[in-house]
């Protein structure tokens, strides 16, 4: 395929009808154009994949130069302007579920559940009760999340900061 042909196809490639754009009200969905693509991909991941016992929750940063409202600016990263995606994948690297980060997610956060806690729970909802092992870094880890996983019969492992909210005093820094 020639470059001009590719650019011509790319110019007209759309996944959603622009005439069906939702109103920008209180419950406006910023990823309405991409929702169909991500839902189709997540359904295909779940349909064709039986995840291994060991799973990982992590963030993926994708370099993006286009115009989207949910593009992130992280000055200390090599890829300054990017799109952040949260993923659940197994030890072979196969993606089992993913979700685009839209900025501060106030809709999924509640009084007893932070936004990252809600994101991880959303990613792991398909494996509840199957006793998989979830590994994560300190960005996602929290004592409340580990308790929640324990109730759902999901084993979890992750690093914690001693000053994390709801952390037991025994695990904090030692006082002399």
Task: Please report the pLDDT score of residue 5 as a whole number.
Answer: 93
Q: Are 103 and 70 in contact (CB under 8 A)?
A: yes
Nearest CA to 57 out of 129, 163, 155 is that of 155
Tens digits of per-residue pLDDT, 42-57? Answer: 888 888 878 888 999 9
72 φ/ψ angles, rounded to the nearest 5 degrees: -100, 150
List, for residues 55-78, the tens digit of each pLDDT value. 999 988 887 777 776 777 777 777
Largest CA distance in the chain: 70
**Residue 85 within a domain:** yes
Q: Is the pLDDT of residue 174 over 60?
A: no
Residue 19 inside a domain? The answer is no
- We report the CATH number of the domain holding residue 58 as 3.30.420
Report if residue 175 sits inside a domain. no
Tokens read off for 85: 């995606």
Q: Is residue 82 part of a domain?
A: yes
pLDDT digits (tens, 9 = 90+) for 95-141: 888 888 876 655 555 556 777 888 888 888 888 888 889 999 888 88
Number of domains, the chain: 1
- Confirm whether 57 is domain-assigned: yes
Strand 133-136 and strand 81-90: pairing?
A: unpaired
Q: Confirm whether 7 is domain-assigned.
A: no
12 in any annotated domain: no
Classify residue 145: in a domain, yes or no: yes
- Domain span holding position 57: 30-168
DSSP 112: S
């Amino acid at each position: 395929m020639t470059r001009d042909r590719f650019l011509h196809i790319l110019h007209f490639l759309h996944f959603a009808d622009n005439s069906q754009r939702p109103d920008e009200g209180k419950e406006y969905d910023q990823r309405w154009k991409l929702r169909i693509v991500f839902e189709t991909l997540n359904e295909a991941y779940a349909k064709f994949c039986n995840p291994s016992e060991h799973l990982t929750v992590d963030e993926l940063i994708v370099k993006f130069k286009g115009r989207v409202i949910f593009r992130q600016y992280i000055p200390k990263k090599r890829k300054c302007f990017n799109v952040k995606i949260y993923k659940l994948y197994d030890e072979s690297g196969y993606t089992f579920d993913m979700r685009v980060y839209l900025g501060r997610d106030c809709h999924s956060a509640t009084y007893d559940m932070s936004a990252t806690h809600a994101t991880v729970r959303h990613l792991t909802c398909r494996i509840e009760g199957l006793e998989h092992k979830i590994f994560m870094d300190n960005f996602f880890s929290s004592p409340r999340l580990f308790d929640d996983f324990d109730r759902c019969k999901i084993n979890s492992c992750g690093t914690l900061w001693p000053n994390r909210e709801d952390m037991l005093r025994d695990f904090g820094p030692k006082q002399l």
